[in-house]
A = this chain, B = another copy of it.
């Protein structure tokens, strides 16, 4: 019932700005409908935002049969976000506008297992922020492989990084002086899909990543599912074989132990489909060249993924599946195994569910992280104190000449 986390005015002002960013120019009537606020309130809020130099009136739209609408757009200075993606051996950065457009990006080496990894990360982040222009930064979004207690707090458990109870959020807040949102990197991708991608027109969809790891971001009723301890979406550890290979998690027969990039490479090496020192690029090249062993490895991976995703579709009933991650570069070889396995295990009325594979770039992970900041204006109570600070920074701006 009550909104505690921000003043209501901050919530509304930041929602208007974020909506103009994510959705493009809109009229007052559009904003009232989209944000379910009365036209009277929108008029008041927009008047103040225009006075504060954050919103500008654009051309009039053609009439819809009545008074023509006056379109509104964002002023150029309306704030930016930085996204950081952390993996074991490097860190990627992007700086984006409120519309999600990438202004600049960078990537630097990094050792997540070093005993001074936090201060090294802080240094890298300071360098990236310091080399940007003097535009208002709303906050920092950080995506990590692993689970996070809550995005507004940011305590990380990550086997891949070797981190156990690392208070990353607090450390970065203290060192950088910006609001910081920390989230699992696949969940961050799902947030980005919801805001800027194919998920914009769906309240319920599934993001699946293939590549180094196998993971899922589950969007339900417009929000990413985190559940009890922030660990929803760990589909890589769904058991799919009773006596399958040993997984990095210690169990046997997890999906990931069979279809992660490392697993495919290991199978290919064992089968002689590639040289013992070759990697995934060689496997893809072999499959492209028609090698039956390589094709079979990808087909079987697709089959296992398809069957497993069919079960997930029955469990959570999404309207769309989006496939992302480094592994998508090989999707043409996964698909022959994936499609029949997936659709034949779906109930009849679900067999036409769309599965979309999007164009992947390494900076996509960092864009996902940045989206964590950009999404907070849409959730009045979301991300606790950090969310409130971000909304205040977005809503409280006054443009300087």
Binding site for B on A (CB under 8 A): 1-2, 4, 11-12, 15, 35-38, 157, 202-205, 216, 218, 220-221, 225-239, 242, 249-251, 253, 307-308, 310-312, 314-319, 344-350, 380
A317: which of B221, B227, B314 is its contact (CB, 8 Å)? B227
How close is A319's CB to chain B, nearest CB, in angstroms? Answer: 4
With both beta carbons as reference points, the residue of chain B lying nearest to A253 in the complex is identified as: B345
User: A347 touches which one: B2, B204, B230, B234 (CB < 8 A)?
Assistant: B234
Can you list 11 A-B pairs with a CB-CB distance of less than 8 A?
A: A1-B15, A1-B380, A2-B38, A204-B228, A218-B315, A220-B227, A232-B317, A234-B315, A236-B314, A238-B315, A315-B315
- Most chain B CB neighbours (cut-off 10 Å) among A4, A157, A308, A316: A316
Contact B37 A315 (CB under 8 A): no
A316 touches which of B4, B15, B37, B218 (Cβ 8 Å) = B218
Specify which chain B residues have a CB less than 8 angstroms from the CB of A35 in the assembled complex: 1
A225 / chain B contacts, CB cutoff of 8 Å = 220, 316
Copy number in the complex reads 2
A interface, by DSSP: helix, strand, loop or mixed? loop
Are the C-beta atoms of A239 and B347 separated by less than 8 Å?
A: no
Task: Name the one of B2, B12, B216, B349 contacting A315, with C-beta atoms under 8 angstroms.
Answer: B216
Q: Is B220 a contact partner of A204 (Cβ separation < 8 A)? A: no
Q: Are B315 and A233 in contact (CB under 8 A)?
A: yes
* Known pairs A204-B228, A225-B220, A347-B249; A36 contacts B315 (CB<8 A): no
Q: Which residues of B contact A250 (CB under 8 A)?
A: 348
Closest to A3 in B: B1
CB distance from A44 to the nearest CB of B (A): 14
Are A317 and B228 also in contact (CB < 8 A) when A239-B307, A251-B347 are?
yes
Docked Cα-Cα span, A37 to B4, in Å, equals: 10
Closest to A254 in B: B345
Decide if B345 touches A36 in the complex (CB within 8 Å).
no
Residues of B within 8 A of A12 (CB): 1
Q: How far is the CA of A250 from the CA of B344 in the complex (A)?
A: 10
Is the CB–CB distance between A36 and B316 below 8 Å? Answer: no
- CA of A394 to CA of B399, assembled, Å: 50
The CA of A270 and the CA of B264, in the complex, are separated in Å by: 41
A218 CA / B225 CA spacing, docked (Å): 12
Contact B229 A319 (CB under 8 A): yes
